[in-house]
């Protein structure tokens, strides 16, 4: 699907990966609808008339319902579910309210929004749903119990949804996102390093990843997996799960 002149809705587009997606899609001629909690706080010095904002708090069912009443959504061609939160550490040390909020934003809200947007996308000449899942949806590491549960849910949801949409004009792209240098990425060490060696975790820039994702959209890919060590890790986790678990747990200390 070519991005030029398509209307792309991106959640969590005020910073990090989402903002990188927005700028790259814009550079390829797309029109943008940027969904964030506080639109007035977003700096759009890079944008033009092809960029609009819309209020959306993915942690709130009521906010999603209000958001869905906006008539601009009827013109959306591509939905990018990018908004996310990070939890980590030993399960007993994770804040329960943060766990509930993370599942709402990363999985439940994503499903809520996708369910409603499908009914709009199906009326477009062609449509696409892009779900940001993470390598944590495939590689289940120590100290990631709740986060990896949510991201594994996104991977499974996307796969099943792709099958449900067979025969329609809507495609589904699952992003098995690697380490990307963002504020959320910088939260990994404080949350995990007390019990796990994170020194080998690497990252790429938001600009580099945004290019990969937009290329995948334009090529109608179904899954975008990482390369390098993360790609090898995903392969091992899928095909040799017990071996992967043994290697991963060797980096953990309680």
Residue 147: which CATH number?
Answer: 3.40.50.720
Q: Dig out the tokens for 132 from the structure.
A: 């940001």
pLDDT in tens, 137-173: 999 999 999 999 999 999 999 999 999 999 999 999 9
Residue 135 tokens read as: 């390598």
Q: Quick one: 223 exposed, middle or buried, by C-beta within 10 A (0-12, 13-18, 19+)?
A: middle
**Would you state the structure tokens that stand for residue 61, as one six-digit string?**
């069912």
**Dist. CA 2–CA 40, nearest whole Å:** 30
Edge-to-edge strands, sheet with 51-55: 51-55, 31-36, 7-11, 78-81, 127-132, 170-175, 223-224
189 has pLDDT over 90: no
Is there a contact between 3 and 214 (Cβ–Cβ < 8 Å)?
yes
Give the list of residues 6+ apart from residue 216 with CB closer than 8 angstroms, or none: 173, 175, 224
pTM: 0.95
Average pLDDT estimate for 68-83: 97
Examine residue 136 and state whether it is found in any structural domain, yes or no.
yes
Banded pLDDT at 98 (limits 50, 70, 90) = very high
10/69 Cα distance (integer angstroms): 17
- Would you say residue 254 lies in a domain? no
The predicted structure's pLDDT at residue 254: 87
What pLDDT shows up at residue 139?
A: 96
The H-or-E segment that residue 244 falls in is helix 241-249
Average pLDDT along the chain: 95
Residue with tokens 């975008």: 224
Domain hosting residue 107, numbered range: 7-249
Please work out, in degrees rounded to the nearest 5, the angle formed at the alpha carbon of residue 120 by the alpha carbons of 34 and 225.
Answer: 60
Residue 52 lies in a domain: yes
Is residue 241 in some structural domain? yes
pLDDT at 194 > cutoff 90: no
pLDDT over 90 (residue 104): yes
**Rounded mean pLDDT, 214-222:** 98
Secondary structure letter of residue 172 according to DSSP? E
Residue 24 lies in a domain: yes
Number of domains in the chain: 1
In a domain, 192, yes or no: yes
3-class secondary-structure state, position 16: helix
With respect to residue 161, please indicate whether it lies within any of the assigned structural domains: yes
- CA pair distance 198, 10, nearest whole angstrom: 30
> In the predicted model, is pLDDT for residue 41 greater than 90?
no
**Structural domain includes residue 2:** no
pLDDT of residue 211: 98
Residue 192 has a pLDDT of 83
Q: Which residue pairs, CB below 8 angstroms and at least 24 apart, start in 137-140?
A: 137/176, 138/176, 138/234, 138/237, 138/238, 139/230, 139/233, 139/234, 139/237, 139/244, 139/248, 140/237, 140/245, 140/248
């Amino acid at each position: 699907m070519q991005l030029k002149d398509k209307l792309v809705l991106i959640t969590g587009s005020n910073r990090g990966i989402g903002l990188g997606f927005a700028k790259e899609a814009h550079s390829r001629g797309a029109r943008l609808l940027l969904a964030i909690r506080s639109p007035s706080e977003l700096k759009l010095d890079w944008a033009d008339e092809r960029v609009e904002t819309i209020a959306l708090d993915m942690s709130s069912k009521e906010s999603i319902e209000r958001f869905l009443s906006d008539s601009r959504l009827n013109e959306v061609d591509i939905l990018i579910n990018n908004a996310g939160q990070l939890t980590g550490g030993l399960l007993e040390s994770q804040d329960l309210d943060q766990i509930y909020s993370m599942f709402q934003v990363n999985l439940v809200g994503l499903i809520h929004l996708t369910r409603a947007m499908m009914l709009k996308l199906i009326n477009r000449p062609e449509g696409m749903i892009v779900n940001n899942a993470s390598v944590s949806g495939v590689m289940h590491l120590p100290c990631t119990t709740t986060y990896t549960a949510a991201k594994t849910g996104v991977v499974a949801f996307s796969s099943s949804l792709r099958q449900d949409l067979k025969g329609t004009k809507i495609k589904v792209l699952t992003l098995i996102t690697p380490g990307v240098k963002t504020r959320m990425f910088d939260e990994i060490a404080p949350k995990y390093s007390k019990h796990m060696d994170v020194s080998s975790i690497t990252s790429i820039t938001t600009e580099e990843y945004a290019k990969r994702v937009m290329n995948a959209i334009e090529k109608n890919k179904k899954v975008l997996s990482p390369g390098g060590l993360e790609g090898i890790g995903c392969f091992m986790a899928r095909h040799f799960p017990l071996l992967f678990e043994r290697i991963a747990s060797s980096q953990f200390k309680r």
